[in-house]
């Protein structure tokens, strides 16, 4: 009897394990495939659509506003796993108003773009967008990578590959495996994770100034993961762990001002950044 019961339990466990393996990309990526519209987002007069071609042959649409600032700084906005770029309009308005250039990256499978999202695919999309900036004569020392949630993993990867001025992380995950263990402790194994986004293992390769902001009440990506990434990062770095903030409301707690204050402290071309300290 106990043997039969054990066989049933093991069978159920393996069945659930297989189901999670098959469905994992539907858990990690939650794209809104409907067409992202600039006018509907309220950015029609400030940004324009640009066609971005990836090395694997996809033509994607991102939204672009050239910088108005004398220093020509540009924020490359890498959004999170859900929705599409159109839902990030309110997140970039303050930067546009301050004269920063903004490249709001459109991923494959999101907002009317072709393809299906994967870790390698999102990295390819980000590389293609950075290549576009080079064509626009935006220099590395004028480029700021800003990642939101899952987009922080993309931003970190790009910061290991490209010279940039600074890296900004909003509610970063440590890795998909860490997040999976928090949600599915009996089913999370590294060899089963297809899209690892292992930020905590990569952040030590980043040598540029870092700003990390995370809400203490974040129930989507626990703040302990943000602390893990911060602890593994190199100086110069700064963190704000906001007691009353969750995962999606950091803008309501001064996120944009913290970013612009941080960037104001970076003198153009000065990679020592003596004013940026851990806090």
Q: Is residue 65 part of a domain?
A: yes
Rounded distance between C-alpha atoms, residue 82 and residue 99, angstroms: 27
What does the pLDDT read at residue 25? Answer: 77
**Range 97-116 average pLDDT:** 97
- Per-residue model confidence as pLDDT tens digits over 248-273: 999 999 999 999 999 999 864 444 44
The answer to the question of residue 192 being in a domain is yes
Helix or strand run (H / E) with residue 239 = strand 237-242
In a domain, 272, yes or no: no
> Among residues 88, 29, 81, which one has the least CA distance to residue 63?
88
- Report how many domains make up the chain: 1
- Coil, helix or strand at residue 89: helix
- What 3-state DSSP class applies to 2? helix
Alpha helices in the chain, H assignment, sequence order:
2-28, 38-41, 89-97, 119-135, 150-161, 176-183, 199-202, 223-232, 255-264
Domain-embedded: residue 69: yes
CATH of the domain at 150: 3.40.50.1820
- Full domain range(s) for residue 22: 2-264
Q: What is the pLDDT of residue 273?
A: 42
Q: Is residue 20 part of a domain?
A: yes
Share of the chain above pLDDT 90, in %: 78
With 80 as the cut, is the pLDDT of residue 226 above it? yes
- Cα gap 132→123, rounded to integer Å: 14
pLDDT-derived band at 168, boundaries 50, 70, 90: very high
Q: Is 176 left (phi over 0), alpha (psi -120 to 50) or beta?
A: alpha
Helix (H, G, I), strand (E, B) or coil at 106: coil
% of the chain exceeding 70 in pLDDT: 85
For residue 126, the model assigns a pLDDT of 98
User: Residue 197, by phi and psi: left (phi above 0), alpha (psi -120 to 50) or beta?
Assistant: left
Structural domain contains residue 278: no
Please report whether residue 273 resides in a domain: no
Whether 279 is covered by a domain: the verdict is no
Q: Is the pLDDT of residue 46 over 90?
A: yes
**For 133, what's the count of Cα atoms within 13 Å in the CB-facing half-sphere?**
32
């Amino acid at each position: 009897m106990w043997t039969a019961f054990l066989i049933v339990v093991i069978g159920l466990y393996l069945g659930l394990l297989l189901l999670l393996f098959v469905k994992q990309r539907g858990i990690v990526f939650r794209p809104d495939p409907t067409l992202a519209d600039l006018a509907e987002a309220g950015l029609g007069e400030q940004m324009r659509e640009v066609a971005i071609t990836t090395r694997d042959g996809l033509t994607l649409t991102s939204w672009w506003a050239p910088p108005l600032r004398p220093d020509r700084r540009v924020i490359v906005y890498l959004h999170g796993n859900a929705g599409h770029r159109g839902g990030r309009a309110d997140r970039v308005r303050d930067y546009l108003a301050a004269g920063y250039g903004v490249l709001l990256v459109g991923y494959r499978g999101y907002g009317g773009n072709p393809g299906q999202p994967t870790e390698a695919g999102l990295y390819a999309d980000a590389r293609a967008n950075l290549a576009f900036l080079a064509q626009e004569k935006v220099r590395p020392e004028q480029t700021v990578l800003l990642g939101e949630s899952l987009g922080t993993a993309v931003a970190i990867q790009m910061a290991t590959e490209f010279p940039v001025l600074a890296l900004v992380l909003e509610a970063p995950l440590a890795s998909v495996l860490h997040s999976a263990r928090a949600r599915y402790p009996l089913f999370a194994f590294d060899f089963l994770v297809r899209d690892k986004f292992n930020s905590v293992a990569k952040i030590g390769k980043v040598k540029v100034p870092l700003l990390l902001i995370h809400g203490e009440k974040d129930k989507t990506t626990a703040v302990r993961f943000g602390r893990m990434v911060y602890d593994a990062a190199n100086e110069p770095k700064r963190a704000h762990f906001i007691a009353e903030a969750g995962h999606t409301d950091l803008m309501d707690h001064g996120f944009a001002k913290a970013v612009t204050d941080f960037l104001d402290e970076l003198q153009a071309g000065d990679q020592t950044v003596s004013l940026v300290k851990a806090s």
